[in-house]
Amino acid sequence: MVTAGMAPRQALAQVEERLAAAGCPDADFDARELFRLAAGRDPHLSDHPLSPDEAGRLEQVTARRAGREPLQYICGRWPFLNFTLAVGPGVLCPRADTEVVAETAIQMLEGVQNPKVLDLCAGTGCLGLGVKAFRPDAAVTCLEKSPEALRYLRENARCALAGLPEQTQPAVQVEEGDLFTRWETLPPGGLDLIVSNPPYLTAQEMTELQPETAREPAMALAAGRDGLDFYRAIAVHYRAALRPGGALVLEIGWQQRQAVTDLLAAAGWTDIGCRQDYAGNDRCVTARA
């Protein structure tokens, strides 16, 4: 148990040992983040013993993480690209792999002035806000169905980019809606980019989740028997909403490249490609209308 008077390195070692025993991946990283959260300082740069309040907070967050609550939920905020997102129970945690998807979407807009962008299944808004952060001239709409996720999305759309000097109008628009029906009201040829990290886990994968992922909303993860329900809808229904040559960028599971590529090709998309994440896994499929 973490107690007052412990040296930072001693407390850090104890927290790491407890997290490792609980099966937490990256226990050393998590322990450092929890110490910073509880004590407001770096355990490697401070020798000041823990105060009673600091020790109490560290003990509390350690117990939560040892119970396999996602670190992002415990922290309440999480970095993405060059900004920070509000995150918590009810919304998918932003992940480093998804930064590759945002970077790809930004690249696909090169040469397009004042682009109109739609982020489907937006969650925290990381993809749409990521585009906006680097393309302040973009008019970005983030679509989300979950009422729980919408709370974080609205906060992030309002606050996440406020400190960026590039931030200009138009603002990011948040819409409550369903990917499976929103296409019906989109004007033909009105968008320059559609980006999405849709649910993509198979029914089998949903039974094999890590404890942390099992704490995230099933709505943001499950995509039918084969994990392709959302990709089918996007492939068939959303091409008409893009201008000719408009871009599509989709996050995928590491084994889904061929299946998603085949769906897009069958629906008439062109210039279909794939980009890997920094671990070398297939991470996003790109296409043109």
- Tens digit of pLDDT per residue, the chain (289 long)? 888 788 999 989 999 999 999 999 999 999 999 999 999 998 888 888 999 999 999 999 999 999 999 999 999 999 999 999 999 999 999 999 999 999 999 999 999 999 999 999 999 999 999 999 999 999 999 999 999 999 999 999 988 777 655 555 567 999 999 999 999 999 999 999 999 999 999 999 999 999 999 999 999 999 999 999 999 999 999 999 999 999 999 999 999 999 999 999 999 999 999 999 999 999 999 999 9
**pLDDT tens digit string along 2-11?**
887 889 999 8
SS3 state at 248:
strand
The predicted model scores a pTM of 0.93
Interatomic CA distance for residues 140 and 1, integer angstroms = 47
| Domain boundary assignment for the chain | 8-67, 80-288
Residue where the block lists tokens 């008077």: 5
Angle in degrees, CA 160, 164, 166, rounded to 5 = 125
Interatomic CA distance for residues 148 and 249, integer angstroms = 25
CB 248 within 8 A of CB 261: no
**pLDDT tens digit string along 193-217?**
999 999 999 999 999 999 999 999 9
Q: Which residues of 228-249 are buried (b: 16+ CB within 10 A; e: fewer)?
A: bbbbbbbbebbbebbbeebbbb
CB 118 within 8 A of CB 125: no
CATH (residue range 80-288): 3.40.50.150
